[in-house]
Chains A and B, each alone.
Chain A
C-alpha cells in the first residue's frame, strides 16, 4: 500500500471485461515528504476520489480480483481509502 495523489482520469471503451464500469484514475505515487515519486500509474477507484486528493493505493492483485469479482482479472492497482491527513 502506498500513498498517491489523483492527477487525472482515463476513458477506455475497449478494455478487459473486469474493468467495465470501473472508474480508472491516474495516480501519482508520493514519497515520504509528499513529493512525486516515479511516473504516474493507473488504478481502479471505487470511492470516487477527487482531483488532487491523497489516497491509499493497494498494489495487491488478489484484493483487486476480489473487488471486481473476476478471478481472471489482470488488474492490480486499487484505491482502498481516501486520506484526510498524513504526518
Chain B
C-alpha cells in the first residue's frame, strides 16, 4: 500500500459493469521528499496512478491505495482493477531517523 495525493478525477462515459458504485481518481504517489514535507505539484516527476475509489475521496485528499492483484479482491466478480483506494488519510506522523 502506498500513500498519494488525489490530484484529479477521471470521468468515463462507458465502463465495465462491475465498476458501478465507484469512481476513478488520479493519484500522485508521495515521493521521499514529499514525505518530508516537500511541495505537491501535479507536474512532479514520476507517473501518477488511476485509482478506483469507493470511499469518496476528493481532490487534495491524501489516500492509501493498494496495487496489484489485491486491488481487485473487494469485487464480487473478476474485475480489471490495478489500484484500489483503501483509506482516506486524516493524519500522518512521519519521523525518519536523523542521520
Contacts and interface: CB of A to CB of B under 8 A. Distances in A.
Do most interface residues of chain B lie in helix, strand or loop, or is the interface mixed?
mixed
A86 interface: no
A16 B66 CA distance: 11
Contacts, number: 105
B30 interface: yes
Contact of B1 (A28, A42, A71): A42
A54 to B, nearest CB: 11
Contacts of A5: 97
Nearest to B33: A39
B95 A51 contact: yes
A12 B56 contact: no
A76 B66 contact: yes
A16 B74 CA distance: 9
A26 B92 contact: yes
Interface string A62-87: 00110000011111110000000000
Interface string B45-86: 000000000011000000010111111011100000000101
A25 B2 CA distance: 11
Interface of A: 5, 7-16, 19, 24, 26, 28, 36, 39-43, 51-52, 61, 64-65, 71-77
Given A8-B95, A24-B87, A74-B71, 18 more contacts: A7-B95, A10-B64, A10-B89, A11-B92, A11-B93, A12-B90, A13-B88, A14-B55, A14-B56, A19-B86, A39-B29, A39-B32, A40-B30, A61-B69, A72-B73, A72-B75, A73-B70, A76-B67
